[in-house]
């Protein structure tokens, strides 16, 4: 909540408005070109009968069993996108397309009800399997493709299919060469074959029901961010001082020194992205961990040496990754 209240003055007016009153539309927005690119990619794959509806909502996703794609509303407006960048980390063009291809995989699965077929169940598993937000992936398993961060295909059979579809759909992904010899190749070949089989077939569910749309969101922008902040799990019991003092062992008088907090802040997003991608720990938790480290570095007044910044970046990234791995395997960042 404090983060919302301390947001820059230029955002105060938009923060107090109900989201439904912002007049947000997908058509003609900065998002439109990405949706059209998705449709072109589907067309190039000969999927002329499959055009999933895209709509603005509160987060990325397809409502369960519905062949529609929800896109976060803040991406449809430059001011909201700037606010999201201040509050969290804004998706770039590459990431937007990654999410769209992934959600298109869900939508294709639901549109043709593949998850009900014996072959799909044999290939990916039971769609009815319990869906867990917290899961422990097997790092570097070759039974699954790699697309979204966190070994995401291992989360659920439905996610496994969506990730496989996304890799298959991505232009110039080179999946035949990249996944040669992997167990995941059988899944990719299944997607390649089933899409060709269904290319000229009308979907069993051509239209889906949307979840809450942007026109139905009564909460203000500020309330949206307060709620999302409240849902995060706080990072607690971190004893960082000794380690951070060792990583940034630089005199405050050094002429080539600068605040280590500023240094880490500049690299925050890439550090969070890479740790989440390789560790399998959920990105929101990694974000809180890195922000906690950044905050403590500032409180300690630590200094980074400009001539050793690559060394600092390597060490702080490896350090945070070790903490993340500890959390993944033992449920805590720091063990007593």
Mean pLDDT by 10 residues, the chain (336 residues): 52 88 95 98 97 96 95 95 85 96 98 98 94 78 93 94 98 97 98 97 94 94 79 63 92 88 93 89 85 92 94 95 85 69
DSSP code, position 89: -
DSSP 230: H
At 328 the pLDDT is 80
- Residue 45 near residue 169 (C-beta atoms within 8 A): yes
> Of the candidates 102, 204, 200, which has an alpha carbon nearest to the alpha carbon of residue 155?
102
Torsions phi, psi of 69, nearest 5? -120, 120
Spell out the domain ranges in the chain: 2-198, 233-330
pTM here is 0.85
The answer to whether the beta carbons of residues 135 and 155 sit under 8 Å apart is yes
Residue 277, pLDDT score: 87
């Amino acid at each position: 909540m404090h983060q919302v209240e301390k947001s820059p003055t230029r955002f105060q007016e938009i923060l107090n408005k109900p989201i439904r009153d912002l007049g947000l539309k997908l058509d003609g927005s900065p998002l439109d070109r990405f949706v059209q690119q998705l449709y072109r990619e589907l067309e190039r794959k000969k999927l002329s009968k499959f055009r999933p509806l895209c709509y603005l909502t509160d987060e990325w996703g397809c409502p369960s069993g519905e062949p529609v794609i929800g896109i976060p509303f803040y991406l449809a407006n430059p001011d909201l996108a700037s606010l999201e960048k201040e509050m969290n980390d804004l998706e770039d063009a590459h990431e937007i397309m990654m999410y769209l291809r992934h959600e298109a995989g869900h939508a294709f699965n639901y549109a043709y009800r593949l998850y009900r077929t014996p072959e799909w169940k044999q290939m990916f598993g039971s769609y009815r399997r319990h869906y867990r937000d917290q899961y422990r992936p097997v790092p570097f398993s070759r039974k699954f493709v790699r697309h979204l961060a966190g070994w995401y295909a291992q989360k659920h059979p439905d996610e496994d299919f969506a990730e496989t579809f996304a890799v298959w759909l991505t232009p110039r992904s080179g999946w035949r060469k990249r996944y040669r010899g992997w167990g995941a190749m059988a899944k990719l070949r299944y997607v390649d074959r089933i899409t060709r089989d269904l290319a000229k077939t009308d979907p069993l569910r051509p239209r889906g029901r949307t979840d809450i749309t942007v026109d139905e969101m009564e909460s203000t922008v500020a309330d949206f961010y307060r709620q999302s902040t409240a849902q995060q799990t706080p990072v607690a019991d971190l004893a960082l001082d000794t380690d951070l003092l060792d990583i940034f062992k630089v005199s405050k008088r050094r002429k080539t020194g600068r605040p280590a907090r500023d240094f880490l802040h500049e690299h925050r997003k890439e550090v969070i992205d890479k740790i989440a991608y390789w560790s399998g720990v959920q990105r929101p938790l990694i974000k809180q961990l890195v922000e906690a480290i950044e905050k403590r570095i500032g409180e300690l007044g630590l200094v980074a040496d400009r001539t050793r910044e690559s060394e600092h970046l390597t060490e702080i990234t490896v350090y945070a990754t070790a903490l993340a791995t500890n959390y993944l395997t033992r449920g805590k960042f720091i063990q007593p």
